[in-house]
Structure 1
Amino acid sequence: MASDSQFSGSGPGSHPASQEILKGSMRKQLFGQTWEFPPKRLSQLLSAKTRKLATTTPTANDPPITLENHHIVIDTIEKYNCYIDTLADAVAKAQKIFIERQPFQFLWTTHDDERSHYTGLVKFLNTGLDSCKAGLGSEVQQAIYKELKFYAWDKPMQDGVDGAHPLKPDLAGVLGEGEPDSLFWRPLLGGRGIEIPGEVKGIWPELVVQAATYARSLFSGYPLRQFALVIGYNHKERAVRFLVFHRGGLTASKPLKLESKQGQEDLILLLSSILTWKSLADAGFPAWCNEKETQVHLPAIYPTPVNIHNDLHHSACVRGRAAHVYYLHIPRPADPTSVAKAVGAPLDKDIAPVSHTQGIRQSRRFQEQVERSQGGTSNAVPQQGGATSVSGIRHGHETGSVTGAQTLSSGLASLQGHLSESKTYDFGRTLANVPYVENTHTSIMISRDLALTESPLSAIRSPNPTSVNHLKPGDYAVLKLSWIPGRGLGHKPIEPELLANCGGMFGVPRHYYSFLAHHQDDCPTTNHLFLPSDTDQTTRWDLFDADVSPDNIPEYRSLLGHVISHAGHSLESAPDFRSLLLALVHAHLGYHNMCQKGYQHRDISIGNVLMVDEPIESAHFHIDTPDDASDRDVRVNILSLCKDLNISNQCTGFVIDGDMAVNWETYFKESHTGDKSGTYQFMSDALLEAQADELDYWHSPIDDYYSFYYVAQWACIWSALNEPKVSRHLDTLRTDIAGTSRGNATFKVLEGRFMTLEMYGALLTEARPFLQDWYRALERLEVVWVNNRDNSALGFRSRADHGLQTFLRVAHKYLVEAQP
C-alpha cells in the first residue's frame, strides 16, 4: 500500500518533489485500477444526462440510495438518459465536416520528438471542436465549454501543488478568447484556469503517469469534482485516448487511431459529449456544494446554504478517499448573508493556529510575517478555533500521508486574511509571486456569468435524522467529506454509526449528522459509472502489468459527508508540554470510549488527534466496572487514575475521523483482504512488518496505542517550541521521522546519549523522559500479549483496558507525581 504522496516536499534539507518521484507516486496509486471503454460507452458517461427514475416513486427493484444500502445499489449507465444519444444526426454531420477537412495532414512532421507534435495535435483538436460546433449548431449555444480551445503550452503553470515543482502540460484546453499568458490549476482574480490538459509521449504507461500528475492538480484545485479529464496522444501510434481520472483510478477510451476514419469519427463523438455540458453538474462539479462561491447546503440541520469559512484540509491524490475538511460558519442575523459580501471577508479572529511540519522553515517564516503584521505573537486558539489537517486514509493503495509533500496542518491557511504578500491554500502550498486574493466569483473555472445562471444548490439525499443537534446562527461546525470505498456487497461504512453512537462522549466531538452527497435529480455523487462490474475483466487496461487479484477489483466509491461540532489544532502547536500531555490523556479517553461502544479506530495519526486551548464541555468519562468483568480491577484503577488526574467534563484532546474504524461485533465474522490500515508514519512496527511481508495480521488496540506514542513523539519533535541554538540535529531528526527512517529517530529519542536543550530544543528535551517511560511500558505490555492473542471482541476490549491503564499510569507520573 503506497502513500497518496510518498515523495519529498519542502521540509528541512529537502527540495520540492521531482517529476520522477511524483510520477512514481501516481503509478502506485493507479496500479491495478486502470480500465478502458469503447468510445461509444465513454461518450455516454461523459455526456450530460438525467436519471430516468428521478421523478418516479422508487420500487423494491430500484430502491433509493441511502446510507443503509448504498453499498448494495450500484449506479449504472442504464439508469440514465444520455443527451449525446439524442444527437446522432448532429454528430454524424460534425463527423462528415471533420473528415472532409482532412485533419490528418496536421499530424505529419519531419521529426519524431514529442515537441514537434504539439502544434499539429492542437490544430487537429481545434479543427475537431470547430467541426463539432458546426455540426451541433444551436445545441452548442448553452454549452459551458463552447469557448474551449487548445493551445500548445509546454511551460510551467503558475501554481504548484503540495511541494512539487510546477507542472508543464504539453497542451492546454482553456476557455475564453485569445491565448493566455499564464494558467492556473485554480485561478486567482483575473487569471485563467486550465480545463483539459494534454500530454504527448510515445509510450502509454509513461504518458498516463504524467497525465495523472495533471489530474491530481485538477483535483487539488476543486477537490469535490467527480472526475478530471486529460487528453493523451501517443505520437508513435498516432492515437489519442480520453483519460478520465476518478477516485477509483483511471478509465480511458480505447485508443482512437487518428489516421483512420473510425478514429476520427470517435474523436468527434467524444468532443461532442463535452459540448453537451450545460451545467457545472454535467461537468462533474458538485451541485449541492458550491466550492466556487464558498457555500454548502445542509438542509437536514439548517434551512439555507451555509458559508464555508475556510478549508482545514485536503488530501492531494487521484485515487483514494481524498478527504476534504471545511470549517463552516452559520451567519448571525446581523451578519452579511450574501455571497458577494461573505466572500473575501477576513477569517474569524478566533481562528489563528499555526502548525509546524516538514515545511517548518517556510511555515515559520510565514508565521513571522503574520506576527509582524499583527504587532506581536499569539498561540491562543479558542474553543471553536483551529485549522488542522485530517489525514486521508488508505484502502488498497491509498493512505493518509504526512510526508514532506503534504503539510499536515493547514493553520497557515487560516491566516490568509491578514496578508497581502502571498496566498496559502488549504493544503499548505504557498504561491510565490502571486498577489493575494480571497475566493471570488472570478476565481472559478467557468465564467462568472455562467455561475449566476446555475440552478440553486440542490438538496443532499440523506435519511431524516431522528435525533440531531441543529445548527444555530453564529455556530461553527466542521464538514468532512471523503470518497469511501465499498468493500463488497456485505460491507457497510462504520464511520456514520461510530460518530452517531460516540459523538459528544468525552474525547470525541459532537456529531450532527452524516449524508451521501447527490447532484440534482437524485444523481448520486459516485464513480460507479466509470467502472465495470466487479466480475467484468474484459475492460481492464493492463497498463502496468498488475496481477488480477481481489485487491484490484473495481473500487466503487461514494462521497460521504459528516458534520461535527468543532475543529481543533495540531498537537504540534501545544503551548507547553503539560498541555500536550493533558490533551493526549483526553484523546486516549476518547479512543477508549469508542472501544467501550465496540469500535476500534485503527488510524490514530497526527491529523486525527487534535487539541483545543480552551476546554470544551463534553460528557463525563465513565467506564463500566461490573463485578463479573475479567478486567474489573483494571477498570477500577482507570477510574482512580482519572480522579487523580482531575478528569471532569472539560476536554482539550479529541480523536476524530473513523474512515478505517471497525465494529467488533461484525469484524471477526467478516472476510478481509489483508489490507493494513493506518497512516504510515504512525503505524506500529508489527503492522509495518506484516505489511512489508504481506502477512495476515489482526490490527488490535495495542497497535493503536503504539500509534498514540508515535503521534506524541511526532508532536514533540515538530513542536514550534523547539528552537535549538544549532538546528542541524533537530532537522535531521525531523527528516528521519517524516520519511522512512522513523526507527532511527525513535532510537535517538529512546536510547541516544546526548539530547541537550542546545541541540534539540525545549519541549522535546522536557518530554523525552516521558516518551522513554511510555514506550518501555508499551513494550512490557506487548510481551504479556505475545502468547495470549485472543482475537475476539472480548480479547480486544481487554487489550483496550490494559493499554489505557498503562498509559494513564505513565501520564500520572508526569502530571501528578511530578508536581511540587
Structure 2
Amino acid sequence: MTPPALITAAPPTTSSSLAPITAAPPTTSSLAPITATPPTPPPNTPPNSNAQSVQFVSTPQSKRATTTRLATVYAQPVSIKQLELKELILSHLTGRVWEFQQDEISSYEPLVIHLNAALMAAKTIRHQLSFDRGADPYAQNLFFSVYDRETHDHILGAAPLKPDINLHNIRTRTKRPRGKFSASWGHPNSYNKRPMLQIEMAVEVGTKWTELLAQLGTYARASFCASPLRQFVIGIGINHVQQKFCIFIFHAGGVAASALTHLVKGFKHLVRFFLAVLHWNTTEDAGIISDGIQYILPSPIGQTYSCFDNLELLHRRVDLCGRRTYVARVGLHTDGTNEQHGRQTTYFESSGVRPGWPVKEEEENNQPPLEDQTSTTILKRKKNTTSADSGSSKRRRVGDEDVHHESPLERKSARVSNYQAADAASKTLEEEAANVAAQELIRQRCSDERRKTPLAKYDQIIASSKCDKLPTEAVIKLSWLPKDSHEREGLALRDCTGQFGTPAFIYTLCVANNSKFLPNSVDEANPWSEFKRKYDGPILLDLRHLCATISADVGRSLEGCNTPYELARALLDCQLGWLNILQRDILHRDVSIGNLLLLETLVARSRFEPTLPSVYDALVDTTAYTKFNQAKTDLQATLERLGVGNNCSAIITDLDLCTRINQNSEGHSHLSGTTEFMSSPMLLSLESKQLYQQSIRDDIWAFFNVAVWAILHSKGPRGSSAFEAVWRDDIQQNYKTRDSAHIAIVKCWAALLVDEDGEPIGPADGSGVVYPQHESSLDELSPLLKVFLPILHAWHQKLPSQQSPMPVSLAANLQQQFIAIKHVRDFAEILERYRERLEPSRWQPHLLNPV
C-alpha cells in the first residue's frame, strides 16, 4: 500500500536533489540513455570528510546511440575496504549465465530470476558502500515476480490489464506473500481474499520495440490514473529474442529511454539502474509527489501554512503526457479527528521514518517559532487510518500491528547523527550492537522541526494583493504547464480577480518540474532508429512545471444546471467575465465546458462596468468609438432590466492558455483550445496545416458550442427524440458533424416560425412568431432543449461570420472590443426577449440584491 506523499519542487539545475533517473529526450521518436545520481551527503557533513556520493554519467559515443561509462566511486568513511563499484558488480556475476527461451511465456521465469539477481547485487553493493546507514529507503523490499494475469483494479472502466512481470515493494514489516497474490495500480485497500500488492514497475516482454513501448505506455497511463499527481512512471521493456532491455521513463514532457543493452553483457548497467532505484528514500523520490488526498498550502504572503483535505474531485484529465489537469475542492483540516471524513491524521517526514508507520504528534506548544519554519512549502505527507466511528468496515491494514510509539527518551537518543553512529559501530562489537539500536531509532524518529514544518518546496509564487489568508474552502488546480503559461495565467488572474464573472484568485505557484528527465541540449538528444520522426525539425525539449493555482470559488459544470434560468444566467455571467478579461487585453483562447463553472451560491463581485477605449483609438476611428459607446450603453441598460447587479452566479476560469491581444496579431500553426469547442475555421486550419490567427471571434463561437453541449449533455431529464441522441453524438465527433447538428437544432425552431397571417416565413428570416399549438411537435425533446430552441436560433443568427477576416487597422483593438461587447449585448437582449420562457420571476431586480 502506497503511503501518502508530498509534492516536491526542486530548481531545474539543483545538484543536491535526488535524480534517480535522468534520460532524454521528451518525445517517443528520440531516446537516450539513463543517468543516475545518488543523493549528496547531508549538509552537516564535516568539510574535510572523505564522504562523497556515487555518481554515474553518460558520454555520447556516436550520433546513433549513447553508452554509459563508470565514474569514480567513493565510499563513506566506514570500516570496510574501499572498493570500486565495477569490482563489486563483477563479484556478483560469477556463475550467473542464463539460458533464455525463444518462447515469450517460457522466458518469464528466467527473466525474473535474472532481474532479481541484478536487484540483489544492487542491494549488496548498497549495503557494502554503507549508503543505508541512518536511513530507511522507500524501496526497502523490492522483488520481481511473474504475473501474466489481470490486475485487481479497473482503470477508467476499461478491462483490467495483464502485465507480464511486475516489480513490487513491501514497505512494511510484513513478509513477502507466498503463493498467488493480486496486484493493483493504485492503493490496494479494497477487499480481496488474496494478498494485495501495488505495482511499482511493469515489465513487458516481446519482440517489437514499438509494441513494447505502446504497451508500457498503457501501463504508465494506468499508474498516472491511480496517482494523478505523480511525476513519472518507469517501465522496463525486454526483447527476449535479442536478449536486450530498455528502460522507459514516462513523464509530462513525453517519454525518455535508455540505450538498448544486452541482458547478460550489460548486466552491470542493470545493476546500476537498480542501485539508483534503491537510493529512493521517500515516495516523492519515486515520483509519487502527492496522493491527492491532503495538502499543505502556504498563505498568500508565505509566512504560515494550513492543511487542507480533498473534499471533492471536480475535474481530472488522465493523459500519458501533457497538462494532466487535476482540479479538486479542498477544505481546511484540523489536527486530530477529521469529523467530516471520520479518520485520524498522522504526519510524516520525508526521511528517517518508515513509510506507512504512524508517528505520535507533538504537543502544540512544542512547535518551533514561526521564523524558524520553512515557508516555501505546499504539501506534507500524511497517513489516514480508519476511525472507529466512521461507519466503514474495520479492515486492518498491513503493518498496523507493528506500530512503534516513541518515548521522549527515544526521541532524544534519535538525534544522534548517522555519521556519529557509523563511527561508533566501527569500535567494538558491543558498541556496534548499541549502534544498531540507535539506527533503529533514527529510522523511526521524526524530529520536532521536520514534523512541524511542511516538506515540499515551491517557487515563483504569484499572489493576489486582495487576499492575505486562505479561506476555509478553496479550489486547487494542478497542471503540468510550460513556464510561460504559468506566468501568463498568474498575472492574468491577478489582474482580473474580484471582477464580475472571474475567479476569486488567491495565488499560483510552481511545485515541481520534469527537467531531470530532459537532455541538457538538443545535441545530446539522440533519436532511436526504431521510431521514425514525423518532421525534420529540431527535437523539442518539452520542459514542464507542475503548477498549483488556488482560488476561493467553488463551482460545478454547466451540465449540472437544474433549470433553464440557471443555465441562461450562467452563460451571461461567464460572458461578462470573459469581457472583463478581454478589456484587460487578454484573450482567453480556451472557452470550454470545463472552464465555465456554475457557483454554488451567488457571490458578490464588482458591478460590470465596460471600460472606455483609449483616446488614441477614439481619435483614429471615431465611427468605431461611437458604435462601441452605444453598445456599452445598451448592454448596461439591458443588464439593469434583467437585474444583473453585483451578484455573480458563474465564472470563467483556467487562463493557462491565454495570451495578450497585441501578441496575437499574426497567424500561428500552434493553436490553443479544447477540440470539441474550437471554431470550425480553427479546426480546418489544423486539419490543412495552415497558419491561423486566433481571435475574439473564436471565443465567441466557443460560447455557443458550450451552450449546445451543456443542453444536450444536461444531467436533467432527457427527451425521447431519436434526433436528440444523434445530435449528442454528432457534436462529439468532428467539427463537420457538429456544425450539421447545430444547423439542424436551429432549423427545429425556424421551421415553426410564421408571419401574422400564419404563413411559414422560412429559416432564413429571424422575425415571426411561433404559436403555442405548434410547439407540441417539440414535446419529444428534452425540457431544457425545448425551452432554449428560440434562444439558440436567435443567438446563432447574431454570431459573427466565421469567414470574414478580423480587423487589422490602426484601430483594430477598438474594433475587436466592439465585436466582443456587441456580442454580449446581443445575447443579453435575446435573454430579455425570451425571459417569459426562463422563469420570469427570477429576473426581477429586487431578488438579486447584493449578498
TM-score (norm 2): 0.69
SS in 1 for 2:309: strand
Pick aligned residue for 1:171 from 155, 165, 176: 165
Kindly tell me the number of residue pairs found equivalent between the two proteins. Answer: 645
Return the alpha-carbon distance in structure 2 between the equivalents of residues 50 and 468 of structure 1.
43
Return the alpha-carbon distance in structure 1 between the equivalents of residues 509 and 529 of structure 2.
35
Cα offsets for 1:26-74 (capped at 9, x unmatched): xxxx9945443334x2x23xx4468999999xxxxxxxxxxxxxxxxxx
Pairing of 1:210-229 with structure 2 (within 5 A): 210-229=215-234
* 2:247 paired with 1:242: yes
Q: Structure 1 residues 136 and 534 mapped into 2: Cα distance closer, same or farther (>3 Å)?
A: closer
Which consecutive unaligned segments of at least 5 residues does structure 1 have? 1-29, 57-81, 347-416, 422-434, 518-524
Return the alpha-carbon distance in structure 2 between the equivalents of residues 54 and 662 of structure 1.
48
Pick aligned residue for 2:677 from 676, 682, 685: 682
Return the alpha-carbon distance in structure 1 between the equivalents of residues 647 and 326 of structure 2.
28
* 2:765 paired with 1:766: no
Aligned to 1:714: 709
Q: Are the equivalent residues in 1 in contact too, given 2:328–2:477 (CA < 8 A)? A: yes
Q: Structure 1 residues 83 and 641 mapped into 2: Cα distance closer, same or farther (>3 Å)?
A: farther
Question: Once the 2 structures are TM-superposed, how far is the Cα of residue 142 of structure 1 from its aligned partner?
Answer: 2.3
Pick aligned residue for 2:585 from 585, 598, 615: 598
Q: Which amino acid aligns with 1:243?
A: F
- Report which stretch shifted further, 540-549 or 578-587: 540-549
Q: Structure 1 residues 472 and 696 mapped into 2: Cα distance closer, same or farther (>3 Å)?
A: closer
Q: Structure 1 residues 178 and 345 mapped into 2: Cα distance closer, same or farther (>3 Å)?
A: closer
Aligned to 1:270: 273
Return the alpha-carbon distance in structure 2 between the equivalents of residues 673 and 83 of structure 1.
49
Aligned to 1:778: 799
- Report which stretch shifted further, 547-556 or 690-699: 547-556
- Report which stretch shifted further, 125-134 or 177-186: 177-186
Aligned to 2:368: none
Which consecutive unaligned segments of at least 5 residues does structure 2 have? 1-24, 48-70, 77-81, 171-175, 191-195, 345-386, 406-442, 619-624, 753-774, 842-851
Q: Are the equivalent residues in 2 in contact too, given 1:49–1:282 (CA < 8 A)? A: no
Q: Structure 1 residues 293 and 651 mapped into 2: Cα distance closer, same or farther (>3 Å)?
A: closer
Return the alpha-carbon distance in structure 2 between the equivalents of residues 654 and 55 of structure 1.
56
* 2:327 paired with 1:320: no
Q: Which amino acid aligns with 1:718?
A: H
Return the alpha-carbon distance in structure 2 between the equivalents of residues 597 and 436 of structure 1.
54
Q: Are the equivalent residues in 2 in contact too, given 1:31–1:544 (CA < 8 A)? A: no
Q: Structure 1 residues 204 and 771 mapped into 2: Cα distance closer, same or farther (>3 Å)?
A: same
Return the alpha-carbon distance in structure 2 between the equivalents of residues 223 and 677 of structure 1.
23
- Report which stretch shifted further, 127-136 or 691-700: 127-136
Q: Structure 1 residues 117 and 736 mapped into 2: Cα distance closer, same or farther (>3 Å)?
A: farther
Pick aligned residue for 1:135 from 106, 125, 131: 125
Aligned to 1:296: 296
Aligned to 2:746: 750
Aligned to 1:804: 824
Q: Which amino acid aligns with 2:158?
A: A
Return the alpha-carbon distance in structure 1 between the equivalents of residues 653 and 46 of structure 2.
38
Q: Are the equivalent residues in 2 in contact too, given 1:478–1:564 (CA < 8 A)? A: yes
Aligned to 1:694: 689
Q: Which amino acid aligns with 2:636?
A: L
Question: Once the 2 structures are TM-superposed, how far is the Cα of residue 495 of structure 1 from its aligned partner?
Answer: 0.3
Aligned to 2:364: none
Q: Structure 1 residues 299 and 643 mapped into 2: Cα distance closer, same or farther (>3 Å)?
A: closer
Return the alpha-carbon distance in structure 1 between the equivalents of residues 277 and 828 of structure 2.
59
Cα offsets for 1:168-189 (capped at 9, x unmatched): 1111111121266212211242
Q: Which amino acid aligns with 2:247?
A: F
Q: Structure 1 residues 293 and 593 mapped into 2: Cα distance closer, same or farther (>3 Å)?
A: closer
Return the alpha-carbon distance in structure 1 between the equivalents of residues 394 and 630 of structure 2.
59
Q: Which amino acid aligns with 1:568?
A: G
Aligned to 1:505: 499
SS in 2 for 1:505: coil
Cα offsets for 1:560-618 (capped at 9, x unmatched): 11110122111111111121001100000000000001111100000001112421111
* 2:835 paired with 1:815: yes
Return the alpha-carbon distance in structure 1 between the equivalents of residues 630 and 41 of structure 2.
62
Q: Structure 1 residues 163 and 751 mapped into 2: Cα distance closer, same or farther (>3 Å)?
A: farther
C-alpha RMSD over aligned residues: 3.8
Q: Are the equivalent residues in 1 in contact too, given 2:300–2:506 (CA < 8 A)? A: no
* 2:182 paired with 1:182: yes
Return the alpha-carbon distance in structure 2 between the equivalents of residues 611 and 52 of structure 1.
50
Q: Are the equivalent residues in 1 in contact too, given 2:299–2:470 (CA < 8 A)? A: no
Question: Once the 2 structures are TM-superposed, how far is the Cα of residue 338 of structure 1 from its aligned partner?
Answer: 3.1
Q: Are the equivalent residues in 1 in contact too, given 2:489–2:655 (CA < 8 A)? A: yes
Aligned to 2:335: 337
Q: Are the equivalent residues in 1 in contact too, given 2:28–2:531 (CA < 8 A)? A: no
Aligned to 2:202: 197
Return the alpha-carbon distance in structure 1 between the equivalents of residues 131 and 44 of structure 2.
25
Cα offsets for 1:355-386 (capped at 9, x unmatched): xxxxxxxxxxxxxxxxxxxxxxxxxxxxxxxx
* 2:37 paired with 1:37: no
Greater relative contact order: 1 or 2 (C-alpha under 8 angstroms, separation 6 or more)?
1
Aligned to 1:78: none
TM-score (norm 1): 0.71
SS in 2 for 1:291: coil
- Report which stretch shifted further, 584-593 or 277-286: 277-286
Q: Structure 1 residues 103 and 746 mapped into 2: Cα distance closer, same or farther (>3 Å)?
A: farther
Aligned to 2:152: 158
Q: Are the equivalent residues in 2 in contact too, given 1:605–1:708 (CA < 8 A)? A: yes
Q: Are the equivalent residues in 2 in contact too, given 1:171–1:198 (CA < 8 A)? A: yes
CA radius of gyration, larger in:
2
Q: Which amino acid aligns with 1:582?
A: R
SS in 2 for 1:494: helix
Q: Structure 1 residues 202 and 54 mapped into 2: Cα distance closer, same or farther (>3 Å)?
A: farther
Return the alpha-carbon distance in structure 2 between the equivalents of residues 310 and 101 of structure 1.
56
Q: Are the equivalent residues in 1 in contact too, given 2:462–2:509 (CA < 8 A)? A: no
Pick aligned residue for 2:465 from 464, 467, 475: 467
Return the alpha-carbon distance in structure 1 between the equivalents of residues 469 and 42 of structure 2.
32
Return the alpha-carbon distance in structure 1 between the equivalents of residues 198 and 444 of structure 2.
15
Question: Once the 2 structures are TM-superposed, how far is the Cα of residue 556 of structure 1 from its aligned partner?
Answer: 0.5
SS in 2 for 1:151: strand
SS in 2 for 1:195: strand
Pairing of 1:28-427 with structure 2 (within 5 A): 32-39=27-34, 41=35, 43-44=36-37, 47-48=38-39, 89=83, 91-105=85-99, 108-109=100-101, 111-112=102-103, 114-137=104-127, 138-140=130-132, 142-176=136-170, 177-178=176-177, 181-189=181-189, 191-260=196-265, 263-286=266-289, 290-291=290-291, 294-300=294-300, 302-331=304-333, 336-338=334-336, 344=342
Return the alpha-carbon distance in structure 2 between the equivalents of residues 533 and 510 of structure 1.
39
Question: Once the 2 structures are TM-superposed, how far is the Cα of residue 815 of structure 1 from its aligned partner?
Answer: 2.7
Q: Which amino acid aligns with 2:824?
A: L
Q: Structure 1 residues 451 and 171 mapped into 2: Cα distance closer, same or farther (>3 Å)?
A: farther
Cα offsets for 1:121-154 (capped at 9, x unmatched): 1111111111111222253572211211111112
Pick aligned residue for 2:604 from 611, 617, 621: 617
Q: Are the equivalent residues in 2 in contact too, given 1:189–1:442 (CA < 8 A)? A: no
Cα offsets for 1:530-558 (capped at 9, x unmatched): 11245326423355312345685110111
Cα offsets for 1:481-523 (capped at 9, x unmatched): 1111246xxx873100111011121001111111111xxxxxx
Q: Structure 1 residues 816 and 762 mapped into 2: Cα distance closer, same or farther (>3 Å)?
A: closer
Q: Structure 1 residues 163 and 710 mapped into 2: Cα distance closer, same or farther (>3 Å)?
A: farther
* 2:629 paired with 1:632: yes
* 2:659 paired with 1:657: no
Q: Structure 1 residues 84 and 167 mapped into 2: Cα distance closer, same or farther (>3 Å)?
A: farther
SS in 2 for 1:304: strand
Return the alpha-carbon distance in structure 1 between the equivalents of residues 805 and 393 of structure 2.
56
Q: Which amino acid aligns with 1:476?
A: E
Aligned to 2:477: 480
SS in 2 for 1:230: strand
